[in-house]
Amino acid sequence: MKISTFKALLSIIFFMTLSNCVSQKSSYIIGSDYNKTKDITTYFSYPYGSIQIPGKWEKGSFNASSREQSFVNKDGIMISIAMTPTDKYPFNLDGKLTGYAFVKEFYDWESKYFMESFGLQCHKVERDSKTQFIIFQVEGEVENQKVDNVLLFGVKQHTAYNLSVKIKQDWSTLERIIFLKNLHK
């Protein structure tokens, strides 16, 4: 049995065991796996979904309150991924906002936080109501550190996707946008 097949089987058994021990409503399992043959890193947040990231990425820090997992590749490019139920956000606890309406409110809520808490500038770069995402750029300076992040907020079914590429001089804004759109497919 191949090692990756063994890992997948072991993960499934672990998920099944854990799902019988804890409430699905508030629990989730995260992990990642690199497939050398396909040169893809898969990040999963069970039961919310998975994302395939081109290339080899190492897991970095995890923010439990936002469910955001950071990754870094060999070139030092840092990305973050969060997958969260749409009804876990303060502006949507009743779950009434869905689809693109949720994405718009998500952007308004988060951009207000960046502007009011850190004095950062936020501007929309691209919107797509059909595939339900907004891409925006956050720029400015916090504690003498330059901030230049490109984020994609999207939704699939009832899961919010928060994807970002942190500042990196090697990637233009357009390259970061294309990268995030490919992650959101």
Q: Mind giving me the DSSP string for 46-73?
A: ETTEEEEEES-EEEEEEETTTTEEEEEE
Domain total for the chain? 1
CB atoms within 10 A of CB 85: 18
CATH of the domain at 111: 3.40.1000.10
List the domain range (segments joined by +) for residue 97.
3-184
* pLDDT per residue of the chain (185 residues) written in tens, 0 to 9: 444 443 433 333 333 333 333 333 457 788 899 999 999 999 998 888 899 999 999 999 998 888 899 999 998 889 999 999 999 999 999 999 999 999 999 999 999 999 999 999 999 999 999 999 999 999 999 999 999 999 999 999 899 999 999 866 778 889 999 999 999 98
Contacts of 148 (CB under 8 A, 6+ apart): 137, 138, 139, 167
